[in-house]
Structure 1
C-alpha cells in the first residue's frame, strides 16, 4: 500500500492539472534555453482557445509564433532581460492568433529553479490573459473623455443626489467656475432666480420618470452675469435600473436670445427716438380702451407734433431735425406718469395714451408738456414749439375714431396759431 504522503501528492497534482486545464487564461510552459528557444513543452486548453493553435501545433515551437508586426520590440527586450536574470516579468503586448487576427495580452512569466541548484532556471511558466476587451473599453473611455474635454458645449455630471462629480473645460470657460470649485457643489450655484419653482418641479418630475429633460435655462455665471443655456439632462442607470448619475449637456444660446430680444424690441420701437412705434402704441391703446370699458374708468389721448418741422429740415438739415425729435421725446417722457404710454405715431407726430384721466385732466397735462417743449434747449438756433390735441374716450369709440378725433384736435391747435392745446 503506497504511503499516505504519496497519495496526497498525487491527488494534489491531479487537482492542479485539472485547475490549469480549466483555467480561462492561457498557460504556457517552456524550457529555459533563451538562445535556441525557449521551446514550448506544455500549453493548456485556454491557450488553444486564445490563440487558435492546437497543443500539437504549439509543442516544440517558440512563443515567437505568436508575435507579429505590432508586437512591441521594447516589451520583448525587457522580457528577455528579466528572464535572463532569472526574474519574474509582467507586461502587455500584442499577440497574433493562428488566423492572423491580433489581441492584447497581459503576461506574467515566472522562472522555475532547479531543486539541486537554485541558481539554475529549468523552465518558465507564463500565464497569459486576453485583455483585448479591457483595452477596447479603456480606449473607448479615453475617446469619450477626450470628446467631452474638447467639446465646445459645457458638460456637467452629478451623482443621484445632485452633487457635481465632473465638469469639462467648456463648462469652466462659460460659467467661470473651475472644476475644483464646481466639483462637490450642487448645480444650484448656477441658479439665477429667473425661473419659477414650476420649471424645476417639471424638471425633476421628468427625470424621476426616467426621461430626459430638455429646456432653456437662465443661469448665472460666477461673475454674476446671466447666460441662456439650452440643456439636455439625462438620467444614467445601472443594470438594476437604479439611477447612478445625471448627465447635462448644454449649449450657450445667449447671443441668440439677445438677438431675438433685439428683434422684438425693434419691432415695437421707433428706431430714432427709442419710443414705442405706431404698432406697439396701437396695441397699448386697444388694451387700455378695453380696460376702460370693463371698469368704467376714463381714458384720454394727447397728440402733438412740432410746429414748422419741415422748415427745420429744410433750413438746418435732417441731422438737426433728428436731434430735435430725440430731444422732444426725452422732454415729454420726463413729464409723464409711469402709467402713461408715449410713442411716435409717425413723422413728427407723437401720441400719449393717458389712462385714468378725464379730458380736462389730460388738457392740463398737455399744457404742462407744451411749456416744457417750448423751454427745452436744442442745437437748433430758433425755439421749438409743438401743437397739442386732446380728447377723452366716448361710448362707442373705436381706436380709429378716437385717434381721428385727437388728430383733428391737434390740427385745430395748429390752425388757431400753433403752440397751444385744444380739447375736443
Structure 2
C-alpha cells in the first residue's frame, strides 16, 4: 500500500498562501464586525489586479469602498442579511476600480467560525471579474438581435454545410420555418436553374478560405423562385480551421422580374406580344449566318392585312387593334416551333423560315393565307392578307433579303391582294 506524504505545519501554510496569492480570482478576508465594518484584513494579488487598489490602500477599510452608483441596492440588502445570519452568500454586482471604472463581479462569501465558541470571526470572499464575459455575452445578444431583426436573410452552416441558424427574414422570405431547415443542407433550396459548375466554383472558393459572391436562384417552400444576391463568408478560427459558413443574402426577385420585363418589352411588340422589328432583325441575322455556315436553305415570308386602313376608318382603332392581335395569334399557332414570327411595322408581319427553300415557304404561305381568310373576328367584314415569299441568295444581306420579300408582298397586293407571290 502506497503511503501519501503529508504536509505539516508551516510548510502547509506557506503552500496555501502561495496558492491564494497566485490565484486569478480576487480573495479578501474581513473581520466579522458588521456594525463598523466588516474591515479588510487581507487581499491577494488577484484582488489588486481586479480593483487597481494595493493592499495598503484597502487594509482596515470596508469593502463598501468598492461600491458605486450602479451597485444594486437589492444586492446590498441580500448580502447584509446573509452575513448577519452567518450564512454563505453567492451573488453578482457592479463594483468600481480605483480609477473609477465599473466592473461586474461575481462573489462567494463564506463565514469562518471559531472552533471553541462557534461564533463567526471572519468572512472570506472569493471574487471573479465577469466584465469581459458579460461584455461578450452582451455583444452576442446584440449581434443575435441584429441578425434576427435584419431585413435580409441570414443562414449559418457548420463546415459540412449543415444549417445551424437562420434568422426571421430567412423564414419570411423562403417560407421555411427554422425547425424545418435546422440540420438540413442548403441544397434543399436548389431550383435546378443553375449549372453544377456554379456550385463547384462556390465550394472551391469557400474551401480556400475566400468569400464567395453570386446570384442564387433558389426555390421557396411553396415552389416559387427567389433570386438572392448572396455573399458567403467562411469563419476561420485561430488555428486556421473553417468552423462555419455565414451566408447573407438580399432578395432581388422583384428587380430580376423588372429587368426581365424591360428586356422583354425591348424585344416585344407591345400590342401583339410578338417579336418586334429589332428582335426579328437579330433573329434574321443569326439565321442567315447559320445558313451560310452549314449551307442550309432559309426563306422569308412577309404579309400584311388587305385594306387595313378601312378597318380603322370604318370600325375604329380598337377594332383594328383587335384584328392585329387576332391575326398574330392565329398565324403564330399555325407555325412550326423553329419559325420566327414578328411584327415588322404597322400591319406588316414577317416570318423567318429556317431549313426551308422558297417552294416550301410558298406552300406554307398559301396555307397561312387560307387560315387568315377563314379567321373569325368581331369585324363584320372578312380579313384577308397578301403574302410575299423569297429565299436567301449568295451575297444577300439582311437589308437586301428583307427588301426582296417586301417587293414580293407588294406584287401580291398589286395583283389583286389575298394571294401569295414568290420572288
TM bracket, shorter-chain basis = over 0.9
What are the residue-to-residue correspondences of 1:227-306 with 2, within 5 Å? 227-306=226-305
What are the residue-to-residue correspondences of 1:354-369 with 2, within 5 Å? 354-369=353-368
CA distance in structure 2 between the partners assigned to 1:228 and 1:144 by the alignment: 26
Per mean C-alpha deviation after superposition, the further-off stretch among 319-328 and 74-83 is 74-83
CA distance in structure 2 between the partners assigned to 1:143 and 1:31 by the alignment: 42
CA distance in structure 1 between the partners assigned to 2:318 and 2:6 by the alignment: 117
CA distance in structure 1 between the partners assigned to 2:399 and 2:241 by the alignment: 64
Offset of 1:188 from its aligned partner? 0.9
CA distance in structure 2 between the partners assigned to 1:65 and 1:253 by the alignment: 59
Q: For 1:124-157, what per-residue CA distance to the aligned partner results, in whole angstroms no more than 9, with x for missing partners?
A: 1111111111111111111111111111111111
Per mean C-alpha deviation after superposition, the further-off stretch among 61-70 and 44-53 is 44-53
Which residue of structure 2 aligns with residue 320 of structure 1?
Answer: 319
Per mean C-alpha deviation after superposition, the further-off stretch among 278-287 and 26-35 is 26-35
Distance 1:373 1:6, change over 3 A: closer
What are the residue-to-residue correspondences of 1:20-419 with 2, within 5 Å? 20-118=20-118, 120-419=119-418
SS in 2 for 1:258: helix
SS in 2 for 1:323: helix
Offset of 1:90 from its aligned partner? 1.3
Distance 1:6 1:265, change over 3 A: closer
Offset of 1:252 from its aligned partner? 1.1
CA distance in structure 2 between the partners assigned to 1:423 and 1:161 by the alignment: 67
Offset of 1:30 from its aligned partner? 1.2
CA distance in structure 1 between the partners assigned to 2:410 and 2:7 by the alignment: 128
SS in 2 for 1:300: strand
Offset of 1:306 from its aligned partner? 0.9
Structure 1's unaligned 5+ residue stretches are none
SS in 1 for 2:311: helix
CA distance in structure 2 between the partners assigned to 1:253 and 1:103 by the alignment: 46
SS in 1 for 2:8: helix
CA distance in structure 2 between the partners assigned to 1:24 and 1:396 by the alignment: 92
Q: For 1:27-66, what per-residue CA distance to the aligned partner results, in whole angstroms no more than 9, with x for missing partners?
A: 1111222232212122122222222222222122111100
Distance 1:7 1:370, change over 3 A: closer
Give the TM-score of the pair, scaled to structure 2. Answer: 0.96
CA distance in structure 2 between the partners assigned to 1:6 and 1:352 by the alignment: 106
CA distance in structure 2 between the partners assigned to 1:306 and 1:124 by the alignment: 107
Distance 1:308 1:26, change over 3 A: same
CA distance in structure 2 between the partners assigned to 1:320 and 1:83 by the alignment: 99
Q: Which runs of 4+ in 1 moved over 4 A?
A: none
> For the aligned residues, what is the CA RMSD?
1.5
CA distance in structure 1 between the partners assigned to 2:393 and 2:386 by the alignment: 23
Give the TM-score of the pair, scaled to structure 1. Answer: 0.96
Structure 2's unaligned 5+ residue stretches are none
Per mean C-alpha deviation after superposition, the further-off stretch among 18-27 and 132-141 is 18-27
Distance 1:133 1:6, change over 3 A: closer
SS in 1 for 2:386: strand
Q: For 1:266-322, what per-residue CA distance to the aligned partner results, in whole angstroms no more than 9, with x for missing partners?
A: 111111100000011001111111111222221111111111111211221111111
SS in 2 for 1:396: coil
Which residue of structure 2 aligns with residue 421 of structure 1?
Answer: 420
